Structure 1
Amino acid sequence: MARPLRIEYPGAIYHVLSRGDRREAIFRTEADRKLFLNLLDQTCRRTGWQIHAYCLMDNHFHLVVETPRGNLSTGMQWFLGSYTQRFNRRHRLWGHLFGGRYKALLVDGRPGGAYLRRVCDYVHLNPVRAGMLGNKEKVHRFRWSSYPRCSPPLAPPNITTPCRPGSKAAEGPYTKRGCRAGDCRVQLVPS
């Protein structure tokens, strides 16, 4: 039986996730995570995607992706294929890295809608649910999530969000209440 086609249209927002084959690690080193984010940046530049949130766990990842051109399948094919090839080369492996087809759940991203914010919160809170952060550790300190990008001192130089000081959005409501999960649209830019 054929796989069902993905629903794709310009402006669609998806919660995308994929796990390692047999739930094995898809990130073994910090360099793997950096490579993944670099390739995500390249994918965004190639496809016009906008990233609302992401979180890299050990054996899976979550993305909240907006596709202005309705090109999720094309972008994911290049992105996951490129990452798998480079990961396998780096670790002297071959074959599948990801277990099966990635999941892409449509998200209602209407302005003022609470669902997009909830999905972003869900993505950002993944390390807490997985027990990767102790009781005293804060989500904003988890390095492999887009949540710290709302907190300029912790943000790596290759990530920028509308809530960074100096951005146009920083002159608006972000200055008084800070940036909450789901308020940001993360843009990956070259370092």
Structure 2
Amino acid sequence: MARRKRNWQPNAYYHVVMRGNNRQNIFAADEDMYHLMRCIAHAAEIYRFAIPAFCIMTNHFHLLIRSEDDLSKIMQQINRRYSDYYAKRYYHVGRIYQRRYFAKAVDTPQALLAVSRYIHRNPIETIVPMVSQLADYPFSSFSFYKTRPEQLPSYVDTSSLLRCLPPSFEKTQAAYAAYCEMDLEEITSLEEYLQNNAYE
């Protein structure tokens, strides 16, 4: 039975998730995560896309991606290149991914903020946080907003999400980083305070 064709629209944003088979780890070492980043960079030399947010965890990775070229071809390029590397490095036979990638359209500014914040907060939302500060995690795009703007990979877009920030935030990378670091309760309280005091 043929696979159902995905409903992809050019230049729309999608939240993409790729998981290891049976939720097993597919990134056993830092070098593996760095290699996935190299796979993404290599795909960016072939296809046209931009990623405002990504995060690589031990058994899955997240992308918030907008592409001019077919998303399925981009993901096929990334996943095949990484799985070939994994098979060679770990003498692995068989598939490493659970299934085809999950992709859901993200179509409002509020949703873009929520999804990107969720992606960036992955390392501290685990049962045992992987880092104490988001900027300390080297395998996500958060540090390019917070501490490493000069090291921006070609495929990372740190400008699009700034336009989505609520009126209470400046449209800067530092403001976006602060937004991600805040608890939801803090964001809600700030918005309510500014609304209640808007005409004072």
Alpha-carbon distance between aligned partners in 2 of 1:156 and 1:124, rounded to the nearest angstrom: 19
Return structure 1 stretches of 4+ with deviation > 4 angstroms.
160-163
TM-score by length of 2: 0.75
Which residue pairs with 1:140 in the alignment? 135
Q: How far 1:151 moved relative to its partner?
A: 1.9
Question: Is this contact kept in 1: 2:123–2:129, CA < 8 A?
Answer: yes
Relative to structure 1, is the Cα distance of residues 181 and 86 closer, same or farther in structure 2, using a 3 angstrom cutoff?
farther
CA shift at 1:156, angstroms? 8.1
What is the CA–CA distance in structure 2 between the aligned matches of 1:55 and 1:139, rounded to whole Å? 11
The change in CA–CA distance for 1:161 and 1:48 in structure 2 (over 3 A counts) is closer
Q: Which has the larger radius of gyration?
A: 2
Instruction: Pick closer, same or farther for the CA change 1:12–1:5 going to 2, 3 Å.
Output: same
2:151 to 130, 133, 157: 157
- What stretches of structure 1 of length at least 5 have no aligned partner? 164-171, 184-191
Whether contact under 8 Å (2:18, 2:101) holds in the other structure is yes
Alpha-carbon RMSD: 2.5
% identity of equivalent residues: 27
Unaligned runs of 5+ in 2: 160-169, 181-200
Matched, 1:44 2:38: no
What is the distance in 1 between the residues matched to 2:91 and 2:179?
38
Residues 78-117 of structure 1 mapped to structure 2, 5 A cutoff: 78-109=77-108, 113-117=109-113
Greater helix proportion: 2
1:16-74 CA distance string (max 9 Å, x none): 001101111110111111110011111122111100100111101000010123x1011
